[in-house]
Amino acid sequence: MSHWIEPLEARQLLSSSPLLAPSANQLVFEQTQGYQTATQTLTLKNSGSGRLTIKSVTLGGADAGQFIVNGTRTRKVTLNRGASVKVTVSFMPYGVAVSGAVLQVNSNDPTHPITVIPLRGLGVSGQFGESEPSLQRILDTFQIPVNVGDQNPLTNRLDGPGASDEVPMQLLQKAGAGPVIITALAAFTWDTSPVATLGWYTPGATPAAHGLFSIPAGNAQTLLPVTLGATQFDPGSIAFGVFGSWPFEKHNATFSQDVLNTWNQVDAGQHAVRFYPYKNTAGQVVANSYVVAMEQGTNSDFQDAVLLIQNVKPA
């Protein structure tokens, strides 16, 4: 067994260094144009051993005027080890568009003297039906540079679709060690209780469905909806699909296998779930991660549930 001894000088320097730890790496909002959202709280914590001085918290970026910041701004705040301060942010869109700004935290953190927190906002014309945003605009808000093939992202429908990043992937397998992880990015559908139930299934003439989580009432028209239940599961080595069930619809669930969507007679392929390789903000494909776009009915907007699924590969 080998041992590593840290030099005393480095240890002493580390022990007296402050470390700014924000509670989120970005804040995302959605709102009807002309109205202000509820506030989101960003906690700025000192996770280091030295005293952290926050010199200022300011707004910047092209659409900074559409975001409102309260709390620490220009006054200096000093935090002992483990202490924190809260900053609240809200969003009021001027129009129907994607907006972006940044929150800049200037401190004496020696590694990151300026910490930048992206602020993203999606302005919509209203709620439900044609007032909902398109799948492309939802991904643009998250700065996920995926082309969904929409010929007109200004409408709620996935018009076309045209050439896109979509991959044929009706069944999946776990890609590596650990669980499969699902994150709900968006839900734009009818507000019922629950709004929807999402999960996975083992294929067959009668698929065996395993519900994972539900989206509760009040989260039918939003980004990053609240979820109740498990967002991780381990299917082992078997092939599986994903499904969504919406109480508003009289037909059965939406499945990733086209053949199971017997209710969908509008799309010639009965295609109700689309998979796109997930890309980071730099445009790099993230291995074994996919954006999942689900259609609950027949209007082909494919944003009734938008998910990020990780640790999977095509079966």
pTM, two decimal places: 0.90
List Cα–Cα distances, 81 to 16, 17, 46, 85, in angstroms: 10, 10, 6, 12
pLDDT of residue 12: 40
**CATH number at 150-314:** 2.60.120.400
Contacts of residue 91, defined as CB under 8 A and 6 or more positions apart, other chains included, come to 29, 31, 36, 37, 66, 67, 68, 99, 119, 121
Give the mean pLDDT of 232-245.
97
pLDDT of residue 265: 62
pLDDT tens sequence across 287-300 = 999 999 999 988 89
Comparing 187 with 15, which gets the higher pLDDT?
A: 187
Is 285 within 8 Å of 185 (Cβ atoms)? no
Give the mean pLDDT of 220-241.
97
pLDDT tens sequence across 170-181 = 999 999 999 999
pLDDT of residue 13: 44
The Cα–Cα gap between 102 and 176 comes to 35
List Cα–Cα distances, 121 to 64, 185, 296, in angstroms: 11, 14, 25
Indicate the pLDDT class of residue 5, thresholds 50, 70 and 90: very low
The fold adopted by the segment(s) 8-124 is Immunoglobulin-like (2.60.40)
Q: Is a pLDDT exceeding 90 seen at residue 270?
A: no
pLDDT tens sequence across 59-94 = 999 999 999 998 656 678 999 999 999 999 999 999
Q: Which of 138, 94, 140, 100 is nearest to 119 (CA)?
A: 100
Give the mean pLDDT of 275-282.
97
The Cα–Cα gap between 97 and 125 comes to 9
Q: Is a pLDDT exceeding 90 seen at residue 205?
A: no
pLDDT of residue 250: 81
Give the mean pLDDT of 169-194.
97
DSSP E strands, 149-299: 172-174, 180-188, 196-202, 208-215, 221-223, 228-229, 232-233, 241-245, 254-255, 273-279, 285-294
pLDDT of residue 11: 37
Strand partners, 129: none
Lowest mean pLDDT among 27-36, 135-144, 200-209: 200-209
Domain-by-domain residue ranges, the chain? Answer: 8-124, 150-314
Give the mean pLDDT of 128-152.
96
Indicate the pLDDT class of residue 240, thresholds 50, 70 and 90: very high
Share the mean pLDDT of the chain: 91
Is 261 within 8 Å of 201 (Cβ atoms)? no
Comparing 307 with 264, which gets the higher pLDDT?
A: 307
Indicate the pLDDT class of residue 243, thresholds 50, 70 and 90: very high
Widest distance between CA atoms in the chain: 72
pLDDT of residue 225: 97
pLDDT tens sequence across 24-50 = 999 999 999 999 999 999 999 999 999
Is 220 within 8 Å of 227 (Cβ atoms)? no
Burial of 129 (0-12, 13-18, 19+ CB in 10 A): exposed
Which residue is associated with the tokens 């010929």? 151
